[in-house]
Structures are given as C-alpha cells and as structure tokens.
C-alpha cells in the first residue's frame, strides 16, 4: 500500500501524500467487492455503465482507489469534471467554515431571493474567469441545462431582433401557450455531426455522437453540418486539412440558406472547441474565425460549448482563447470542472422581461464556494502553466508511442493535457483501455476508436511518465 492512512488533519494532506504509483491487486476490474455492490445497486437502478465502485475517502490527488483496493492513476477524472484531484486539502478546508456550511443548508431561489453575498460572489469568482468580452453571467446546474437555456436566450434575442421595438402580439402570446407559431416559432440551432451538447430534448437535438444517446427520442428538424476530420500529423497535411475546413464551412453556409427557405431560420450555431464525446475532433483557429464570420453574415449567434474544454485543461482557461476570434463569441457555456453550470454572454442576450430565463434554483451557491477555492489554487499554484508543461510531456510521449507502434496508434492530438490518440479500431481501443486499467491507468474512450486523456490540473510530468510507461507495456503485450 502506498497510501498514507490514518491521518486526518488537513495539513498532512499534501501532494506528497499521493501514492507514488498505481497499485492493482485484483485480476479483473471490477473486482469482487465492486461486483457485489453492482448486484446490490442493480436491484434499484440500471448499472450497465458502471466500471467499478470507488472508495472516495481513500482516493487522493490524481489517484482513485476502488473498493477492492486497486489504486488507479486517474486520467479520466469523472468524465473530465475533477479539477484538483481527490480530497484536495484546500477544498476539504472550505467546509471547516461555519458560514460555508450555512450556504449549503440554506439554498435560495437565486432568481427571487438571492443571499446578500451573491452579487459579490458572482463578481469575484465567476466574472474573474469570464471569457474576454462577455460581461454577463447566467448560472445553472449542469451542462445540459446550460445549453438549453443558452438556446432559449438565443431564440429570444433572434425574435427580438425581428420584432424590433414592437410589443408581443396577442397572437404570439396565445399561440405559444399551445406550442404553435408564431409564439413558438420554427427556429433552429445548427450543430455539427459528432457533436455532444447534452441529453435533454433540446440539447439532444444538437448531439450527434452516438446513436444510443438519441434512439427512440423525438427531436427537432434542425440543420447539422460536417465537422472537420483532419489528417495527422497536421504539419504534413496542411493543404488537405484546409480543404476540409472549407468543405465544412461551405456546408454551414448552405444549410443556413436551406433552413431559411424551409422556414426554420438558424438563430444560433453551437460548437465545441474540441468535439469531446465525438472523438476529440479538433478544428483550426481559421475554421472558427470563418464560422464566426458566417454567423455574423446570417444574423445567427455563435455559442461555444466549453462544458468539457473549459477550466484550464487545454492549457488556457477557455479553449476558444486559442482561436483569436475577431470578436468574442456571443455565448459560452460551462459546467463540469466549474462545479456548476451556466453561460457567459453579452448584453444582447439578456432578456428584457423577468422570468423568461428562470428556474427554481438557477445554480447553486454551495458549488460556487467550492469553485472559489479551486480558482484560488489554480492561480496560486500556476496550474495552467503546469498543464502546458505536463501536457507537452504527455503529448510528446504519445507521439513517440505512435512511432513505436504505428500499426496500433495514430493521430495524436489536442491541447494542454486535453489529448487523444486514435487506435486502429474500436475493438483494439477497448482492449487497450481495459488493459491500461489493469496496469493502473484509468482512461476513457471517445468517438469510434479514440482514447482520451482528461487528467486533473495537478497532473504533473511524473504522472505523465507513469501513464506513458504503462501504456507502452500494454501496447507491447498486445
């Protein structure tokens, strides 16, 4: 056992208390205790997606421990939602403060009776990480709700532009109550093949990564364009990838025309800076710059979904900072590492009337106080720079593995530690992921044949080397 146990005081929890390396003690993962718990849970829930049961009390830093005593170096981090690792001492300390405990048990309806500290908290915590040029914030609970409400803000903005200064008509007010136009207009959100933006009905209509997410669920007839599929290495395929950009962008422009003619104009475009669930598909800064131009030309809003990419793991706090857009995107959604959901936007996307964008809780102050400490640690420990460093080690190592195992791996890509590599097919991918787990590394799959890496922000060079060593061992034995 590499864990220091029996120490309760927060001051003893430092990065050095992390295990030195992974420990696997069962022949299979899930081990017997996980299998037993799975049976128990199966009596009241669907359990088909469960990998194992974790012992979070014993997990530490970059290492997740399961109930069977396996200690895995976690580079999947709860689907990319853990910024500082497990049981970070600074986060445990947050709730030593009685004031913060009161925040947990007095949860307000933030849209009606916010607490006295809420304006300050929003300003000093969330607005300090606002994407450049976006001066408004709407908080929500999760990624799906953030995208859904961002869509609503976009639809309201679009109709207000058409309506000008005139008031709602009687016909609009009556028809919307029975889901009919003109009150419930035939507007659309353009999305991309391979995209993932959530699973509630509105956000699911813009998700196109796997059929199992969508099958049997009614949807909207909204336009879907191709997202670039690049050839790697990028520097050897510049001309071809540029053509790919152009093809996709011309599809976007065409679909905007088609759906305008269809009577379902495109109010907004939603896009991930890196398509995550869909296979870690990147697109160039030029692609995003031109996408924004097409949006502006057509009067459509540009929504950048940073639910998975936001929070620092790409080597910038927001991935779209890499794109040098000529002006800020209209809306940026977030969740996961930021603990709660929401979206940043500009003044144009602030509805004029109350209760249009609203729900009971509208976010969660209990999550914001955790986020406050996370952002402090990111700043104090310079974790974005850390991500750039360890990301370089991990990426260079993956490129090296690609060269060592050209029949197994290709197309290493990504930014910061937000990285992926393709395998030859889905079956090989799944085998590698399983074997890496049995060698102490928790990774995740995405798309058809990619392995994705989503380490914490406290993932260091030494962790990257452990991942690479174990991966090499797995590939050698394949």
Cα dist from 102 to 99, 369, 370, whole Å: 5, 11, 14
Measured CA to CA, the distance from residue 409 to residue 231 in angstroms comes to: 14
Are residues 288 and 312 in contact, defined by beta-carbon separation less than 8 angstroms? no
Least distance from its own copies to the Cβ atom of residue 6, Å: 13
Least distance from its own copies to the Cβ atom of residue 328, Å: 15
- CB closer to its own copies out of 30 and 391: 30
Q: Report how far Cα 209 is from the mean position of its chain's Cα atoms.
A: 14
- CB closer to its own copies out of 190 and 420: 190
Least distance from its own copies to the Cβ atom of residue 120, Å: 8
Helix (H, G, I), strand (E, B) or coil at 108: coil
Characterize the bridge pairing of strands 274-275 and 266-271. unpaired
| CB atoms closer than 10 angstroms to residue 162 | 10
- CB closer to its own copies out of 215 and 239: 215
Are residues 310 and 319 in contact, defined by beta-carbon separation less than 8 angstroms? yes
Measured CA to CA, the distance from residue 187 to residue 95 in angstroms comes to: 45
- CB closer to its own copies out of 14 and 123: 123
Strands (E), 398-440: 409-415, 418-423
Measured CA to CA, the distance from residue 387 to residue 224 in angstroms comes to: 33
Characterize the bridge pairing of strands 441-442 and 71-74. parallel
Are residues 94 and 351 in contact, defined by beta-carbon separation less than 8 angstroms? no
Backbone angles phi, psi at 285, to 5 degrees: -55, -40
| CB atoms closer than 10 angstroms to residue 298 | 17
Least distance from its own copies to the Cβ atom of residue 111, Å: 5
- CB closer to its own copies out of 81 and 237: 81
Are residues 208 and 271 in contact, defined by beta-carbon separation less than 8 angstroms? no
Catalytic position from the list 58, 121, 316, 336: 336
Measured CA to CA, the distance from residue 3 to residue 1 in angstroms comes to: 6
Catalytic position from the list 305, 437, 443, 453: 305
Catalytic position from the list 360, 379, 425, 427: 360
Question: CA neighbours within 13 Å on the CB side: how many for 462?
Answer: 9
- CB closer to its own copies out of 184 and 462: 184
- CA angle 262/263/268 to nearest 5° reads 100
In the numeric block, which tokens belong to residue 41? 């849970």
Least distance from its own copies to the Cβ atom of residue 245, Å: 22
Catalytic position from the list 151, 196, 287, 344: 196
In the numeric block, which tokens belong to residue 298? 């057509």
- CB closer to its own copies out of 378 and 468: 378
314 as an active site residue: the answer is: no
Least distance from its own copies to the Cβ atom of residue 173, Å: 4
227 as an active site residue: the answer is: no
Least distance from its own copies to the Cβ atom of residue 461, Å: 25
Q: Tokens 């995003």 label which residue?
A: 288
196 as an active site residue: the answer is: yes
- CB closer to its own copies out of 139 and 412: 139
Least distance from its own copies to the Cβ atom of residue 158, Å: 8
Could you give the residue numbers annotated as active site? 196, 305, 336, 360
């Amino acid at each position: 056992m590499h864990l220091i146990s029996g120490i309760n005081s927060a001051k003893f929890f430092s990065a050095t208390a992390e295990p030195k390396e992974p420990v696997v003690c069962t022949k299979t993962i899930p081990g017997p205790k996980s299998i037993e718990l799975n049976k128990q849970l199966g009596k009241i829930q669907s359990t088909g997606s469960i990998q194992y049961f974790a012992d979070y009390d014993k997990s530490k830093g970059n290492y997740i421990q399961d109930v069977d005593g396996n200690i895995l170096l976690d580079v999947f981090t709860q689907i990319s939602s853990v910024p500082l690792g497990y049981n970070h001492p600074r986060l445990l300390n947050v709730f030593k403060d009685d004031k913060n405990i009161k925040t947990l048990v007095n949860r307000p309806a933030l849209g009606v009776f916010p607490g006295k500290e809420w304006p300050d908290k929003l300003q000093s915590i969330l607005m300090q990480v606002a994407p450049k040029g976006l001066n408004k914030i709407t908080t929500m609970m999760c990624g799906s709700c953030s995208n859904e409400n961002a869509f609503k803000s976009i639809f309201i903005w679009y109709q207000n532009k058409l309506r000008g200064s005139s008031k709602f008509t009687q016909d609009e007010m009556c028809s919307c109550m029975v889901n009919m136009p003109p009150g419930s207009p035939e507007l659309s959100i353009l999305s991309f093949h391979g995209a993932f933006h959530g699973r509630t009905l509105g956000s699911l209509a813009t998700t196109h990564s796997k059929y199992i997410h969508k099958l049997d669920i009614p949807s909207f007839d909204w336009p879907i364009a191709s997202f670039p599929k690049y050839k790697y290495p990028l520097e050897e395929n510049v001309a071809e990838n540029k053509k790919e950009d152009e093809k996709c962008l011309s599809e976007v422009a065409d679909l905007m025309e088609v759906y305008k003619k269809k009577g379902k104009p495109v109010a907004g475009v939603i896009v991930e800076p890196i398509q995550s669930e869909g296979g870690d598909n990147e697109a160039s800064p030029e692609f995003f710059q031109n996408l924004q131009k097409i949006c502006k030309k057509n009067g459509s809003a540009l929504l950048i979904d940073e639910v998975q990419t936001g929070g620092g793991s790409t080597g910038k706090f927001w991935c779209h900072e890499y794109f040098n857009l000529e002006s800020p995107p209209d809306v940026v959604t977030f969740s996961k590492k930021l603990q709660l959901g929401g979206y940043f936007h500009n003044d144009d996307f602030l509805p004029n009337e109350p209760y249009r964008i609203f729900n009971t809780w509208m976010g969660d102050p209990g999550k914001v106080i955790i986020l406050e400490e996370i952002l402090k640690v990111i700043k104090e420990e310079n974790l974005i720079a850390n991500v750039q460093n360890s990301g370089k080690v991990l990426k260079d190592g993956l490129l090296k593995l690609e060269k060592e195992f050209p029949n197994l791996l290709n197309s290493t890509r990504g930014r910061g530690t937000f990285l992926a590599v393709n395998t030859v097919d889905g079956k090989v991918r799944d085998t590698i992921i399983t074997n890496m787990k049995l060698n102490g590394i928790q990774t995740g799959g995405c798309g058809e044949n990619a392995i994705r890496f989503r380490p914490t922000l406290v993932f260091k060079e030494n962790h990257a080397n452990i991942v690479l060593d174990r991966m090499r061992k797995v590939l050698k034995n394949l």
